[in-house]
A and B are shown apart, each in its own frame.
Chain A
């Protein structure tokens, strides 16, 4: 009886321990969730909808731009609202380079990286295509994934 109990306890403990060792990349469900996440993120950009873009960030998010960091969802929304009054964004494509990497073992936090590109139309000129690379830390909030930190850069344009 004692042996059975200990075996069960060992099994349970190993079951809990397993994710610590095994989780080097996210599970298929998480990968699928991020495919959907990227699609919706692109849609928000292509609709030039600052509130929708900002909704992808957590309240305390940081967006690290080449010009410096922007702190908080509200400031990020303001930044995009200002941007979308100056330019029109289309063909925003956000690609993830590799599957999300879990941070820790709880399954509620991942880091990802990838590339971005979009077409920009200014009031007095364009269109021009911009591209670059990004890295992000995402956290789970309820059923959704949100961006806690997004760092992006801009690939210098090639000389004409």
Chain B
């Protein structure tokens, strides 16, 4: 009986020990690993596009860290809470995660298709290319235009020349897509009327690769002025006069 128990104990311990030996070797991705990763990426995209915080959080481990540009978020629960909060304010669609040919490292277009209030991506082909200008960190520039806190940023912001804005009916807050660069949000006026200005970390970071660029897609993130006026007028029509039936005075 004792011997049987010991055999069982040995078997159990060896079963636990096997991974220790197996993982001494450098891991290389098998076809099965790739398939699992592809499925993982697909599941993540689906969760994003369903704006489903719980499903998205389920793609993380219990002790995961989500490193954002405002700091890390630790643990699946906190990550779920963060996405739940995000999806209350934004509707995400067309989320596409692509994996580079190198294993497990990929380009995510997280920022790009954040279509605010369900406004769709508009495909355009003006056939024109625009000159690229650069703004550098040491110039310490902060814009007086656009939304509060507006500033070009290496991750997402661009400045747009006034002629381009007029031609494509673009405003601050809208998104533009440029081939080989991706999606950027307009949060500046560029100095030159027919140019696009990028935040570059060093001279010629963008200009060397893209002396001129085209815009092939846009997202109108905010309703047009006419739409906004129509909405205001409709409200006035429905409620020419209103009453106040209760009020709350905040404690000082």
Contact = CB atoms under 8 A, between A and B. Distances in A.
User: Are A and B associated in one complex?
Assistant: yes
Interface of A: 2-3, 6-7, 9-10, 13-14, 16-17, 19-21, 24, 62, 64, 66-69, 71, 82-83, 85-87, 97-98, 101, 104-106, 113, 115, 120-122, 124-128, 130, 132-135, 149, 151, 153-160
Contacts of B19: 20, 104-105
Contact of A13 (B17, B105, B203): B17
Interface of B: 2-3, 6-7, 9-10, 13-14, 16-17, 19-21, 23-24, 27, 63, 65, 67-72, 74, 100, 102, 105, 107, 136-140, 142, 148-151, 153-155, 201-203, 205
B153 to A, nearest CB: 5
A119 B17 CA distance: 48
A7 B6 contact: yes
Contact of A157 (B23, B67, B68, B151): B151
A130 B72 CA distance: 17
B150 to A, nearest CB: 7
Given A7-B6, A19-B20, A82 B138 contact: no
A7 B13 CA distance: 11
B13 A10 contact: yes
A153 B68 contact: yes
Contacts of B7: 6
A137 B65 CA distance: 13
Contact of A151 (B67, B148, B203): B67
